[in-house]
């Protein structure tokens, strides 16, 4: 506890200058939760091996972006390494806040990160996207999965959902036939989703939006969410909502997961972090009954939203060489396996295929397929602002305040204003 307090004090009062018995020092900003916990443990292990003390500054998700942006914009050098949610990356990269990793690889006579990293995970670490400079390494390989009750699908002779039409058919069938089928005799809803304003509704909508052939921007950067494809995607989401619990337009991840775990909903989009709970009888009433698959398709192939956690070195780091050594060590296969055992999806193929991990996490083949075909949110520095606005209108449509056409037209106009302000 004293060590933790010392670390926080250093993080608060100038990490760059914090000393501990004359040892080498690094400073690291992490997110609260399982993702950050794994990296904190890696930092302790690294100190034991190499004598480099890493001061940890830990922040809740809602505060981490702001804390990092303020520090990197001011150039204080408070952090030598930072965790980034991949949608934040374009903002930091476009403002030249992150160190290019290529010179550090060259200095050590290394070709680069290698081909063991999943391509989609490495792509979100590059600016411009896919083929630009490498400014981070991927640490946690989140991508969405489609959760569904295999026992109910078997009971009602439903096929594994390959398309969104399959999902709608199954949702209607289960909703009608399982009025008293939940544990304890309650209703089983055909589908459950997040539709609260902001990130929640956008997260659940984007796989539908993309599969209907919609895109947020055209080739010239103009917003196109109100295209016929975009409107049809939202109409479909509203149709699914007929088989969701009442009040779903205010649901976040916790409400969705609660319905799935309690056996009161049959299908949903969700993140891999929730998988382990379904095998825990203390948390789940549907142990052994849930399957995890890739995203259904429609007009286009189904693609999950990628949600990787990245680690980057700020350009203002006072210890860039030592930071790079830790970064490469922490994202190596051996360390990533330890992170995976703690519950974090990896970003390396070899870790996904590790025999011990496959035995512990039988969903890994589906997770790897999902990650390999996953799609990032639009790589724009204004994504946080755009997502918030877009999510407001998606939620309002789901609550019945607006029609699909009204919601998408108004969202498109507001997104266009954001784009124009930032030209």
The tens-digit pLDDT sequence of the chain (423 residues) is 333 333 333 433 333 334 434 458 999 999 999 999 999 999 999 999 999 999 999 999 989 999 999 999 998 899 999 999 999 999 999 999 999 999 999 999 999 999 999 999 999 999 999 999 999 999 999 999 999 999 999 999 999 999 999 999 999 999 999 988 888 788 999 999 999 999 999 999 999 999 999 999 999 999 999 999 999 999 999 999 999 999 999 999 999 999 999 999 999 999 998 898 998 999 999 999 999 999 999 999 999 999 999 999 999 999 999 999 999 999 999 999 999 999 999 999 999 999 999 999 999 999 999 999 999 999 999 999 999 999 999 999 999 999 999 999 999 999 999 999 998
Parts of the chain belonging to CATH 3.40.190.10: 2-142+307-373, 145-305+379-421
Whether the Cβ atoms of residue 122 and residue 349 lie closer than 8 Å to each other = no
Describe the crossing of helices 199-211 and 383-398 by its angle, rounded to 10 degrees.
Answer: 80
Which backbone phi and psi does 217 adopt, to 5 degrees? -130, 150
How confident is the model at residue 185, as a pLDDT? 80
Residues 6+ apart with CB under 8 A from 168: 236, 239, 240
How confident is the model at residue 194, as a pLDDT? 97
Enter the CATH code of domain 2-142+307-373: 3.40.190.10
How confident is the model at residue 154, as a pLDDT? 97
How confident is the model at residue 63, as a pLDDT? 95
Closest C-alpha among 117, 73, 62 to residue 98: 73
Which residues pair with residue 372 across a beta bridge? none
CA distance 45 to 60: 23
Enter the CATH code of domain 145-305+379-421: 3.40.190.10
How confident is the model at residue 182, as a pLDDT? 81
How confident is the model at residue 223, as a pLDDT? 98
CA distance 40 to 55: 9
């Amino acid at each position: 506890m004293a060590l933790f307090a010392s670390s926080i004090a250093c993080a608060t009062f100038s990490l760059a200058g914090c000393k501990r018995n004359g040892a080498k020092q690094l400073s690291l900003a992490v997110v609260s939760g399982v993702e950050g916990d794994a990296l904190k443990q890696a930092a302790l292990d690294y100190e034991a091996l190499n004598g480099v003390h890493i001061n940890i500054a830990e922040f809740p998700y809602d505060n981490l972006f702001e804390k990092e942006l303020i520090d990197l914009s001011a150039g204080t050098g408070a952090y030598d390494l930072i965790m980034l949610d991949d949608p934040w990356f374009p903002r930091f990269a476009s403002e030249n806040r992150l160190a290019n990793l290529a010179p550090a690889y060259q200095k050590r006579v290394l070709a680069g990160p290698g081909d063991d990293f999943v391509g989609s995970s490495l792509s979100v670490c590059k600016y411009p996207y896919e083929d630009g400079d490498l400014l981070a390494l991927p640490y946690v390989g989140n991508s969405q999965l489609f959760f569904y009750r295999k026992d109910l699908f078997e009971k009602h002779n439903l096929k594994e959902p390959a398309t969104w039409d399959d999902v709608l058919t199954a949702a209607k069938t289960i909703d009608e036939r399982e009025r008293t089928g939940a544990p304890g005799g309650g209703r089983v809803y055909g589908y459950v989703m997040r539709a609260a304003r902001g990130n929640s509704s956008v997260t659940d909508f984007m796989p539908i939006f993309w599969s209907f052939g919609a895109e947020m921007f055209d080739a010239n950067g103009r917003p196109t969410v109100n295209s016929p494809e975009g409107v049809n995607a939202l109409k479909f989401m509203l149709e699914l909502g007929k088989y969701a619990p009442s009040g779903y337009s205010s649901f976040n991840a916790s409400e969705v997961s609660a319905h799935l775990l309690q056996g009161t909903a049959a299908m949903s989009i969700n993140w891999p972090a929730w998988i382990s709970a379904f095998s825990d009888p203390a948390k789940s009433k549907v142990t052994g009954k849930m399957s995890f698959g890739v995203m259904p398709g429609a007009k286009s192939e189904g693609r999950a939203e990628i949600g990787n956690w990245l680690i980057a070195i700020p350009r203002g780091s006072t210890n860039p060489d030592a930071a790079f050594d830790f970064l490469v060590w922490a994202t190596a296969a051996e360390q990533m396996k330890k992170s995976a055992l703690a519950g974090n999806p990896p970003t390396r193929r070899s870790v996904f295929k590790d025999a011990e991990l496959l035995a512990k996490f039988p969903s890994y083949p589906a997770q790897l397929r999902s990650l390999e075909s996953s799609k990032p949110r639009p790589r724009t520095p204004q994504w946080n602002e755009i997502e918030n606005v877009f999510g407001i209108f998606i939620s309002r449509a789901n609550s019945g305040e607006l029609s699909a056409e009204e919601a998408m037209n108004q969202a498109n106009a507001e997104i266009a204003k954001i784009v124009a302000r930032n030209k």
